[in-house]
Amino acid sequence: MRVFHCDKYLVPLPVGHRFPIGKYRMLREILERDGLVRSTDLRESQPIEIESLLLVHTPAYVGSLVHGTLSDADQRRLGFPWSAELVLRSRSSAGGTLAAAFAALEDGAAGNLAGGTHHAFADHGEGYCTFNDHAIAIRTLQNEGRIRRAAVIDLDVHQGNGTAAIFAGDPDVFTFSMHGAKNFPFRKQRSSLDVELADGCG
């Protein structure tokens, strides 16, 4: 099974920043160490094309990231300070999901170790999510006639609010999110189906 990763891209973050950017490299190393992924299965993901980003995200938002004009308020909402490295890594993460989607159509299964950016909306990022890789992959496959319908099964503890908003009202994309009821995002979007879980259940 082909598994894509982009942990070679280092994003400069302030000392004490709460996002554990090193987790992607650690995940790859653990999977290799434990024999769950062979080195021959691993592929370095490539930065996704700007045209693919624009299938989901607004030109103004993409432009603010590419040209480094993202406002201070939008950087706070995103959770990351802007940097060229952040944009490159985010494009590569989305590129990995798109490559994995094409690989899954060919092989039946594939993976991306750095995807899942479900808090990114069409016109802004939030919750450490810059570009919505799920939505970009689905829209690209639809645009190329490779698929007609899709389902997003999101089992993160946080609701996939960006994904829900992007596909709201789209009968060809079913969004399912099972998440904690009382955590971020505190203003939830409406997925096709939401299952909210109480604290401490499971």
Q: How many Å separate Cα 16 from the centre of its chain? A: 23
Q: How many Å separate Cα 157 from the centre of its chain? A: 15
Angle, helices 133-143/84-107, rounded to nearest 10 degrees? 50
Annotated active-site residue in 5, 118, 119, 179: 119
| 119 classed as catalytic | yes
41: which 2 tokens?
């299965």
End-to-end Cα, the chain, rounded Å = 31
Amino acid at 64: S
Check if the beta carbon of residue 78 is closer than 8 Å to that of residue 125.
Answer: yes
199: which 2 tokens?
């604290």
**Residues designated catalytic:** 119
